[in-house]
Structure 1
Amino acid sequence: MIRFAVVDDHMIVHDGLQAMASRADDLEFVGAAETPDDALALLEETRPDVLVLDLRLNGESSTELCATVRRRHPDVIVLVFSAYGNTELLTQAIRAGAAGYVLKDTNTGRMPEILRELVRAGSYFDPRIAGSLLLTSISNPSEPVSFSERELAIIRLIARGANNHDIGEALNVSPHTVKFHVSTMFKRHGVHRRAELVRLAMDLQLLD
């Protein structure tokens, strides 16, 4: 029997994973939490085998919580459950002690086998991003994960609601140049919306 708990600030995720467990004879849903403090209390109370942890809780990165869980409960396997297929965030999760990383668009029907593989092998990383991380690490073994100063300036203005024209005026470049930079960041960081760039920069603690 694999006993697992969930930390996510969306009740629909709690309900979905609980329903999934009810259909599997070897899975037991032992509880859910929405905040870091509640998550730590839940772990003390339930002692699960696996903690399914949302990468973002109420707009904040949960990598620090992941590290705390691994430090206080080394027997608990942390599976990060993320909406972002991004190698930078995967790297952060691994460094914080996560043994797995799965995207939220994964079919719920596959989650039981993912949990089994996680416990059986000791790790599970979504192949859609694990391969990209491996290729990046091989191609650029010493290249730090970062945004350029120009890219960060664009992201800061996006966060304030500026469009390409406004950003161009503020940075003294053309709207076409702004669009080029944004498109380049989309491709490099595996995101599709400007809000995701802002969230990524926040997760990497690059925004004030």
Structure 2
Amino acid sequence: MTDPVRLLIVDDHPVVRDGLRGMFTGDPGFEVVGEAADGAEALALTATLHPDVVLMDLRMPGMDGVTAIGRLVRSGSPAKVLVLTTYDTDADVLPAIEAGATGYLLKDAPREDLVRAVRSAARGESVLSPSVAGRLMGRLRDPGPAEEPLSQRELEVLTLVARGSSNRETAARLFISEATVKTHLLHVYAKLGVNDRAAAVAAAYDRGLLTPGGR
């Protein structure tokens, strides 16, 4: 008899965790070994519980899913990460895949698809929801126009912004004025074709200018 797939559920919503636990607990092919409410807890539990698959949400308070995925991969953990989220934008999908997620599924997926995806992830097979697969194929076919590169200082400012630093904190870290920080950000917005800080960070991850856990 094949051993059940050991599963760790990571989501900041208790109702979602309860629903997933109930679904997989009723299937003898799976063993839910634990639950986590954020990325940091997921890292700790993965190290002690040794799941085969981590079912990972992306947007969570504290450590987000992409950061957790990157750290799991760098730690050498053999656990496979299957993203299960509501979001399928480029700014969500690409960083997660680049960080090392084995698959990416949306929460509206039918139960049968989710069960099949977890089994596939446990075997190391990539699993993508149709909309996510379409997005990735679209990016490969149409990478977009040539982009004006960010300067080293603009990248430094954007990296600190991505880590949650305010303009004042960024200025203090880089020993420049707040006005200079604002000027750099305006240049970043123009080069990335965005209008605010959040969109700049998302676009930078999308284009590989920033990577989870560093730059």
TM-score range, shorter chain: 0.5 to 0.7
Question: In structure 1, how many angstroms separate the alpha carbons of the residues matched to 2:41 and 2:63?
Answer: 15
Corresponding residue number in structure 2 for 1:162: none
Question: In structure 2, how many angstroms separate the alpha carbons of the residues matched to 1:81 and 1:129?
Answer: 12
Question: In structure 1, how many angstroms separate the alpha carbons of the residues matched to 2:50 and 2:108?
Answer: 27
Amino acid at match of 1:17: L
Superposed displacement of residue 203, structure 1: 4.8
Among candidates 2, 5, 8, match of residue 5 of structure 2: 2
Corresponding residue number in structure 1 for 2:27: 24
Question: In structure 2, how many angstroms separate the alpha carbons of the residues matched to 1:105 and 1:2?
Answer: 22
Identity of aligned residues (%): 30
Superposed displacement of residue 202, structure 1: 5.7
Corresponding residue number in structure 2 for 1:132: 135
Query: Contact 2:24/2:32 (CA < 8 Å) preserved in 1?
Result: yes
1:102 aligned onto 2:105: yes
Corresponding residue number in structure 2 for 1:14: 17
1:152 aligned onto 2:186: no
Question: In structure 2, how many angstroms separate the alpha carbons of the residues matched to 1:11 and 1:143?
Answer: 44
Question: In structure 2, how many angstroms separate the alpha carbons of the residues matched to 1:110 and 1:10?
Answer: 21
Corresponding residue number in structure 1 for 2:45: 42
TM-score (norm 1): 0.67
Q: SS at 2:100's partner residue? A: coil
RMSD: 2.8
Which runs of structure 2 are paired with 1:1-208 in the superposition (5 Å)? 1-58=4-61, 61-120=64-123, 122-140=125-143, 149=190, 152-153=194-195, 203=202
Question: In structure 2, how many angstroms separate the alpha carbons of the residues matched to 1:18 and 1:2?
Answer: 13
Amino acid at match of 1:124: V
5+ residue gaps in structure 2?
Answer: 148-187, 206-215
Q: SS at 1:29's partner residue? A: strand
Question: In structure 1, how many angstroms separate the alpha carbons of the residues matched to 2:23 and 2:128?
Answer: 20
5+ residue gaps in structure 1?
Answer: 157-197
Amino acid at match of 1:103: L
Corresponding residue number in structure 2 for 1:188: none
Question: In structure 2, how many angstroms separate the alpha carbons of the residues matched to 1:21 and 1:124?
Answer: 18
